[in-house]
Amino acid sequence: MQGKIALEEHFALPETLEDSRGFFPDTIWDELRARLLDIQDRRLREMDENGIELMILSLNAPTIQAIADPAAARELARRANDYLAEEVAKRPDRFRGFAALPLQDPAFAAEEMERCVRDLGFVGALVNGFSQVGDEATVTYYDGAEYRPFWRTVEALGVPFYLHPRNPLLPHARIFQGHEWLMGPTWAFGQETAVHALRLIGSGLFDDCPKLQFILGHMGEGLPFSMWRIDNRNRWMDLPPTYRARRLIGDYFRENFHLTTSGNFRTPALADAIAEIGVDRIMFSTDWPFENVDHAANWFDAAEISDADRRKIGRDNARALFGIE
């Protein structure tokens, strides 16, 4: 399919490269580093070869969220956003930008969000899970009351918020200790991000901000498979919910969330996601450079869905959500 739009597509600044270093052998790291630093060259070739007209770009993970010093987080976020705006300006026909936001400081994050949308023309934000704030062991999720003004700003700006994965801190998630192979995209990314999303829903965020729209990658981080059970376990008991939100969790999921295919190129998972959230809320993405553009595109272009659905997921849903003509 030609004309695809992809929206979980990362780049790095030289100073954020190390965040993607992992334990890769040198051969992998050389390649990954080159992919992360490039925007205008190989990336465009990959897009051209794989029918991608537009990428919405975002800084790599966890970067801003892992900087415990709020001032440093603020400074880096601004710099990353300015850099991204310049790069997008070189090819406005091929790129758009997501803001990096220092949610260690919700008031500043709201300001930066406004600046990014109004002055830099960004189409939303992408944030890598919880923030460490003050010291490395202190984490903050965004369901707390202190984040409501930030969310109202995002809602008022009318742009979506991409909740991107990061790993839990090992002391906070003991089941992974000694089993670090489960970290990252293998498993921990999904668990961490799904629960963060559920905490946000349960907090009543979407009662307060009913128009706020979130995006989750990786076909919904496992939520489509489990959403029925979340709302239907122990059904005969007919118990009132013990979370703060007013409706079923799935109601918010179906009205305030969108999913992308990033890093999850499996048709039964796509079918499951369509059955849960509807085809209008699913969008193509690759997760470049951690996944290959051709792996994503070859799968998607041939996936056994209707061409009408392919056009929506591949392009039209993103156009509608981001107001792209």
What is the identity of the amino acid at 312? K
Q: Candidates 62, 102, 165, 263: give the one binding its own copies (CB under 8 A).
A: 263
Beta carbons of 16 and 79 less than 8 angstroms apart: no
- 316 has catalytic annotation: no
Q: How many residues does the chain have?
A: 325
| Among 92, 84, 139, 134, CA closest to 112 | 84
The dihedral over CA atoms of 251, 245, 232, 167, expressed in degrees to the nearest 10, equals 90
Of the pair 8, 155, the CB lying nearest Zn ion is at 8
Q: Is 226 in the site for its own copies (CB under 8 A)?
A: yes
Residue 291 binding target from its own copies, Zn ion, none, CB below 5 to 8 Å by type: its own copies
Q: Is 195 in the site for its own copies (CB under 8 A)?
A: yes
Q: Candidates 77, 281, 285, 322: give the one binding its own copies (CB under 8 A).
A: 281
Q: Is 160 in the site for its own copies (CB under 8 A)?
A: no
Residue 74 binding target from Zn ion, its own copies, none, CB below 5 to 8 Å by type: none
Residue 93 binding target from its own copies, Zn ion, none, CB below 5 to 8 Å by type: none
Distance CA 187, CA 273 (A): 18
| Among 121, 120, 47, CA closest to 79 | 120
Q: Is 34 in the site for its own copies (CB under 8 A)?
A: no
Q: Is 149 in the site for its own copies (CB under 8 A)?
A: no
| Among 312, 272, 35, 20, CA closest to 165 | 20
Which residues lie closer than 8 Å to 65 by C-beta, 6 or more apart? 73, 103, 104, 127, 128, 129, 130, 131, 132, 166
Q: Is 72 in the site for its own copies (CB under 8 A)?
A: no
Find the binding residues for its own copies in span 233-252 (CB under 8 A): 233-237, 239, 241-243
Candidate segments 60-68, 94-102, 156-164, 230-238, binder of its own copies by CB under 8 A: 230-238
Q: Is 170 in the site for its own copies (CB under 8 A)?
A: no
| Catalytic (active-site) positions | 287
